Structure formats: C-alpha cells, structure tokens
Amino acid sequence: MDVIKTDIEGLVIIEPRIFNDDRGYFYESFSQREFEEKVCSTFFIQDNQSKSSYGVLRGLHFQKPPFAQSKLVRVVKGAVLDVAVDIRKGSPTYGKHIAIELTETNHRQLFIPRGFAHGFVVLSEEVIFQYKCDNFYSKESEGSLMYNDAELNINWEILEENAILSDKDRHNQLFKDFDSPFNYNDNLYE
C-alpha cells in the first residue's frame, strides 16, 4: 500500500496496489503489519458497514476518551465525500478539515486518528461504506459537531436542500460552543 500524507498531521490517504487482469482485479485491503509499519501502531477491533442513498450525510461524529476511536474508512460500492476535522486543542490545524472523495473505483481509504470528528455524504445513487475501528462504540462517549457550521466551512459538494440527515445530526453542537476533550500533546493511544 502507498501512504499519502495530507496537510493535517496524522490524517493519511491509503492507496492499495491493485492487480488487474482480464478476470477483474485483486488487492489487499488491509494488512496489520504493513499498517503499523507505514501509518501507526493501533489494533482494529471492530468492522462496521453502512448502506445509504444519494444525499445521506452522516456526521460529524467522534467518541470522547476513554472510548476515542481511530477509523480506517473505505467505499465498497458507490462514492462519498469523506471529511475529517481536527478537534485536538493546541493543534496547529485545530478546526481545519480534509475532504476526500472515496469511491469503489479509486479504492482509496482514509485513516482518521483519535482526536478527529468524521462524517461523509453520499455522492452516488447508493453507497456501501466500511470502516474499521480501534475501540468499541460507547453511547455515553458520543460527540458530534454540526455539519454545516460556518466556522468549519466544509463544502459537502451537494446542495444543502438535498442533504438527508438523522434527527440527531440536525441538532449537533456548533464549533464555537465546543470544548474539545482532546489535546494535541496528549498520547491518545495509551
């Protein structure tokens, strides 16, 4: 796999090596050994999958310590715009985000470390979205930020009236009112 650094420390794009022939393609979507060598030392303990239609916007979500999660996300079918926001207090990129298109044809993955809020919007008619997590889900540790917060200034690449949100995501917290539980200088993997 090839690892592409982004403008935000810790967020990396992973491109697998694709082997194509007249039968189709093959690629290794994950190797713990190679991931630890090239990205970071964490151990994924849960795989999740969602199916959504065009315009579904999920996010911006995170889990607070001690149940903070890293995620390795990818698209199996369709296309999404995937967004990660740095919410580590003291980070030089605090409040900044990366947005990347993940598709079934580019096979890219995004690694989102602990200390980031995450969301995606479906750009295709339908999407199957998978993610690996390095910590178990805890309802009591849920956190979220408003997807259309002016201060975050995220271009979701769809018209706002086409966004399909859960009731919960319509009432997420504004960034200006947010007191992050993450600190840039803390080791979030202890």
What CATH number did the domain enclosing 30 receive? 2.60.120.10
Rounded Cα distance, 118 and 84, in Å: 5
In a domain, 159, yes or no: yes
- Check: CB of residue 77 under 8 Å from CB of residue 104: yes
**Among the options 61, 97, 107, 118, which is catalytic?**
61
In a domain, 188, yes or no: no
Q: How many domains does the chain have?
A: 1
In a domain, 38, yes or no: yes
Buried b (16+ CB within 10 A) or exposed e, 91-110: bebbbebbbbebbeeebbbb
**Tell me: the pLDDT tens digits for 114-148?**
999 999 999 999 999 999 999 999 999 999 999 99
In a domain, 181, yes or no: no
Tokens of 127: 């999407």
118 catalytic? Reply is no
pLDDT attached to residue 74: 97
pLDDT attached to residue 155: 97
| pTM exceeds 0.85, yes or no | yes
Residues of the chain above pLDDT 70, percent = 100
pLDDT attached to residue 188: 86
DSSP string, 86-136: E-EET-TTTT-EEEEEEETTT--EEEE-TTEEEEEEE-SSEEEEEEEESS-
Tabulate helix, strand, coil % of the chain (nearest 5): 10, 45, 45
107 catalytic? Reply is no
**Among the options 27, 131, 184, 189, which is catalytic?**
131
In a domain, 65, yes or no: yes
In a domain, 16, yes or no: yes
Across the beta sheet with 79-86, what order do the strands follow?
97-103, 79-86, 116-122, 57-63, 142-144
In a domain, 189, yes or no: no
